[in-house]
């Protein structure tokens, strides 16, 4: 029986006969072989244009979840990504005709993932988007008082301050004009897609139409001499590019659910999932998704203050809430102690991160069917010069919650092919710079 509020995807239901792919009876061996193979995917090209609709820090290459989904599940089975980010796993699950559940606590991650797994008809989306641009332009030139009024009334004082600091007055008017038209689009799938295009002109490596420089790599700095491009023109450009990406994408009607959910406490039944594949945030406090994402989320109605307190929902970031009580495995404690010898605050942060990962892995174990696999992809980092040994530590934690560790693969990260997470510190010698060459693929069986 499903508990109240639980999400139910029937692992046995299927709307039509799906092509059979073979899952070996001995999944552990298949998994071991996969982990020993090439996990770099240096030459792999993207399987779908949907992956490139919007930038997202530290998304993994689509070929990675694809490899494991293809070999460790059959068509019609349920793949879970409890930290779904930009939806890479879910797009691949749908392409391979698997069912999928993707959850996250980041509102922008949910918007992107939902837009990708339910893309609109490209011709209709293009028509609608062009209409948005034209009408926004008309309002801008003929009725800018209305836009001024919206800007005054819509946002609380703190959020208004944020907008005024980070967006030039003309850009604010243009974005407001676009937003009003997007909100008036009646079709939910088109509206989501247009929101994604809107966000895509703000959350970019270079800070897009905001006054921020380099939103992707460092702490945002306000440019003194940046002359932002016209938001309406940028939106039109982004619309064309994203519509072309959808046109080139194969369409599959996978049964995919994207839901708000904390990976430490999932709204799912025990033993209901056939494969977990996910990549958690990096160890330590170096990543701040919200810092970049709030630049577009404020436009979608999230006040700055609410977003600031929502930060605590992210793994490893809330040092006030009680964490998992039981002791961490000894090798994990040793890493934390080594960090603590240099910096006690950092050691507390790392301790919190690994405790949160313990809760996360316990949840993954609970919802997975016995005999099935879980894959955690994580990069290590340095805290005050000490390696956090994330791959090894996650392996130890996984074992402590009941998983069998089949192997830990290593993959090289291609820095230029990937938008990196935002550093809390913003200097190049921070953990971010030091950790980005390699990541670990922790392969587990329940
Ligand atoms: C490395 S990213 C995942 C990227 C993803 N694999 C992709 O390809 O786009 C980590 C994700 O974990 C999410 N996250 C952080 N804390 C979380 C929590 N408590 N529950 C669920 N998701 C969380 C972040 O919002 C972020 O989207």
pLDDT of residue 438: 86
pLDDT of residue 423: 42
Looking at 208, 228, 247, which one is the last position of a domain? 247
Mean pLDDT of 201-227: 81
- Is 240 in the same domain as 131? yes
Looking at 191, 220, 247, which one is the last position of a domain? 247
Q: What is the Å distance from ligand 1's center to 70 Cα?
A: 22
- Is 265 in the same domain as 240? no
Please tell me the residue having the least CA distance from ligand 1 atom 13.
83
**Pocket flag, ligand 1, residue 105 (CB < 6 Å):** yes
- Is 318 in the same domain as 359? yes
Q: Say if residues 271 and 368 touch (Cβ distance below 8 Å).
A: yes
Residue 170 lies in a domain: yes
The residue to mutate among 44, 83, 111, 297, having the most atoms of ligand 1 within 8 angstroms of its beta carbon, is: 83
What's the pLDDT band for 296 if we cut at 50, 70, 90?
A: very high
Angle, helices 122-142 vs 144-154, to 10°: value is: 100
Question: pLDDT (tens digit, 9 = 90+) per residue, 91-113?
Answer: 999 999 999 999 999 999 999 99
Residue 4 lies in a domain: no
What are 257's strand-pairing partners?
101
Q: Say if residues 299 and 166 touch (Cβ distance below 8 Å).
A: no
**Pocket flag, ligand 1, residue 289 (CB < 6 Å):** yes
Residue 66 has pLDDT above 60, yes or no: yes
Considering the chain, what percentage of its residues have pLDDT values greater than 90? 66
**Pocket flag, ligand 1, residue 198 (CB < 6 Å):** no
- Is 100 in the same domain as 196? no
Average pLDDT, the chain: 87
Range of the domain at 69: 27-106+255-295+313-445
Lowest mean pLDDT among 14-23, 255-264, 268-277, 335-344: 14-23
pLDDT of residue 436: 56
Residue 394 lies in a domain: yes
- Is 237 in the same domain as 283? no
Q: What is the CATH number of the domain that holds 37?
A: 3.40.50.150
- Give the strand pairing for 212-213 and 386-387: unpaired
Residue 48 has pLDDT above 70, yes or no: yes
Residue 300 lies in a domain: no
pLDDT of residue 18: 39
Place of tokens 């946002």: 155
- Is 211 in the same domain as 285? no
- The candidate with the shortest Cα–Cα distance to 390, out of 400, 398, 379, is 379
Mean pLDDT of 409-430: 57
- Is 206 in the same domain as 267? no
**Pocket flag, ligand 1, residue 281 (CB < 6 Å):** yes
- Is 199 in the same domain as 262? no
Residue 76 has pLDDT above 60, yes or no: yes
Q: Which atom of ligand 1 is nearest to the CA of 262?
A: 20
Residue 20 lies in a domain: no
- Is 147 in the same domain as 290? no
Residue 221 lies in a domain: yes
- Is 323 in the same domain as 412? yes
Q: What is the Å distance from ligand 1's center to 134 Cα?
A: 36
Question: pLDDT (tens digit, 9 = 90+) per residue, 310-327?
Answer: 888 888 776 555 566 788
State both tokens at 317.
């970031």
- Is 86 in the same domain as 139? no
Residue 306 lies in a domain: no
Residue 52 lies in a domain: yes
- Is 159 in the same domain as 80? no
Q: What is the Å distance from ligand 1's center to 104 Cα?
A: 6
Question: What distance in Å separates the CA atoms of residue 74 and residue 70, rounded to the nearest whole number?
Answer: 7
Our count of domains for the chain comes to 2
Question: pLDDT (tens digit, 9 = 90+) per residue, 134-192?
Answer: 999 999 999 999 999 999 999 999 999 999 999 999 999 999 999 999 999 999 999 99
């Amino acid at each position: 029986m499903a508990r109240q509020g639980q999400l139910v995807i029937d692992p046995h239901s299927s709307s039509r006969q799906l092509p059979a792919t073979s899952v070996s009876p001995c999944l552990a061996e298949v998994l071991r072989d996969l982990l020993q193979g090439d996990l770099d995917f240096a030459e792999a090209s993207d399987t779908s244009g949907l992956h490139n609709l919007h930038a997202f820090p530290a998304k993994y290459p689509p070929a990675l979840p694809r490899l494991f989904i293809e070999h460790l599940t059959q068509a019609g089975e349920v793949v879970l990504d409890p930290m779904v980010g930009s939806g890479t796993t879910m797009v691949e699950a749908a392409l391979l005709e698997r069912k999928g559940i993707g959850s996250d606590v980041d509102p922008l991650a949910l918007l992107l993932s939902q837009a990708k797994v339910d893309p609109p008809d490209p011709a209709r989306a293009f028509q609608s988007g062009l209409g948005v641009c034209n009408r926004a332009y008309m309002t801008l030139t003929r009725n800018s008082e209305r836009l001024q009024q919206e800007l005054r009334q819509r946002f609380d004082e703190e959020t208004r301050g944020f907008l005024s600091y980070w967006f030039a007055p003309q850009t604010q008017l243009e974005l407001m004009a676009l937003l009003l038209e997007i909100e008036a689009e009646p079709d939910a799938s088109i509206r989501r897609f247009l929101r994604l295009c809107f966000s895509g002109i703000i959350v970019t490596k270079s800070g897009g139409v905001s006054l921020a420089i380099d939103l992707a790599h460092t702490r945002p700095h306000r440019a003194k001499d940046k002359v932002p491009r016209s938001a309406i023109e940028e939106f039109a450009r982004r619309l064309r590019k994203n519509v072309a990406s959808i046109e080139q994408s194969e369409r599959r009607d996978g049964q995919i659910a994207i839901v708000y959910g904390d990976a430490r406490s999932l709204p799912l039944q025990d033993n209901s999932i056939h494969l977990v594949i996910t990549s958690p945030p990096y160890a330590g406090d170096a990543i701040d998704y919200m810092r970049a994402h709030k630049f577009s989320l404020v436009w979608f109605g999230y006040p700055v203050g609410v977003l600031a307190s929502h930060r605590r929902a992210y793994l490893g970031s809330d040092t006030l809430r009680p964490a998992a009580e039981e002791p961490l495995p000894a090798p994990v404690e040793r890493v934390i102690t080594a960090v603590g010898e240099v910096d006690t605050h950092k050691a507390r942060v790392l301790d919190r991160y690994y405790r949160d990962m313990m809760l996360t892995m316990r949840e993954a174990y609970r919802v997975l069917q016995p005999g099935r696999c879980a894959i955690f992809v994580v990069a290590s980092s340095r805290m005050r010069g000490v390696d956090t040994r994330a791959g090894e530590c996650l392996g130890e934690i996984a074992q402590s919650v009941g998983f069998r560790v089949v192997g830990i693969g290593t993959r090289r990260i291609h820095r230029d092919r990937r938008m990196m997470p935002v550093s809390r510190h913003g200097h190049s010698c921070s953990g971010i710079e030091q950790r980005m060459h390699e990541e670990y693929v922790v392969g587990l069986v329940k």
